Amino acid sequence: MRIIKVALHEDESVVVTPAAVYMGEHRAVRLEITLPQRLQTGFDFYTIAFDVMNAGKRIPLGNIYPKEEGTETIAWMENGVIFCDLPDSLTHSTFVRGQVEGHREENGTCVLLEKSALFMLRFEDSIAGEGEAVSAFALGHMNELMAQINHMRETLRIKVEGVDDFVQGGLAEAQDAIRQMVVEAEDNVVQAASQAKADVNQTASQAQGEIGQTAQQLKTEVSQTAAQAKIDVNQTAAQALGNIAQAAAQAQSGLNDGITQANQAAAQAAVSAGEAGQSKAAAQTAAQQAQTVVTNAAALLADTK
């Protein structure tokens, strides 16, 4: 059995690894579809919807579940990969588009339907028919008809390939435009960063200059204040020294006056002491005289008796 691998990526890109598939084959080729992470969990079952020859008609393959032992099915899921043996109902045309659908139901009602990106399968020409005998005339008309059909298929294939080329070209142009936008955005970011850096440097320089001016002004003011304080201290010290000298002179004058007065008082005291000595001697003499009088008086009294 031949294998066609379809990788559905998280960024919605699709990579198809093709194999030779011929029109009319039945379950001779197996699809191996690797699901993106967002479609691997949270669903009750899956299906693959096909559109043959881009006819706009949805052909679902049926519900797909994990494969059970001993069961035979055309499609099943295992470890995030859907396996599908292509039936002849899908291989009778030149190409077919496919899309994986994840379904979740509650009480028989669909509550979530999520789809994958589209992928495309191409099939090679092959001989078709039931093997019936035909006349030469019919065979000639059949060959002519088949030639026309093949011509139409070839024309359609060229147009499809042209559409693919156009789409690829558009994607390439879009990618180039995105790259250019990214480059321009990076340039704008670099320019903005450079301008911001220049603005910051200029602001820092201005701030540094203003700080220097302020510091110099403060230094000048401090120097002026210190000089004025020094002058005030000197004046206060001189005034205090003058007051101390004046007070000292006054104290010296008072001391001298006190000494003079003390000397005068001492002299006066000495005079008073001399006078007091004379008075004492006179008193002693008077006392002796009085004693004599008393003694004489007593003797006289005694004689009188």
The residues, any chain, with a CB within 8 Å of residue 292's CB and separated by 6 or more, are none
pLDDT at 135: 47
- Give the pLDDT band of residue 103 (cuts 50, 70, 90): very high
pLDDT at 200: 62
Neighbours of 39 (CB within 10 A): 19
pLDDT at 228: 86
Question: Between 38 and 158, where is the model more confident?
Answer: 38
Neighbours of 30 (CB within 10 A): 16
56-75 pLDDT, tens digit per residue, is 889 998 899 988 877 778 99
Residue ranges of alpha helices (H) inside the chain are: 136-304
The fold of the 2-129 domain, in CATH, is Immunoglobulin-like (2.60.40)
Task: Give the H/E segment covering residue 119.
Answer: strand 119-122
Domain ranges of the chain: 2-129, 151-220
Pairing relationship of beta strands 2-8 and 29-34 according to DSSP bridges: parallel
26-60 pLDDT, tens digit per residue, is 988 999 999 999 999 999 999 999 998 888 889 99
pLDDT at 136: 45
3-class SS at 39? Answer: helix
pTM given for the model = 0.43
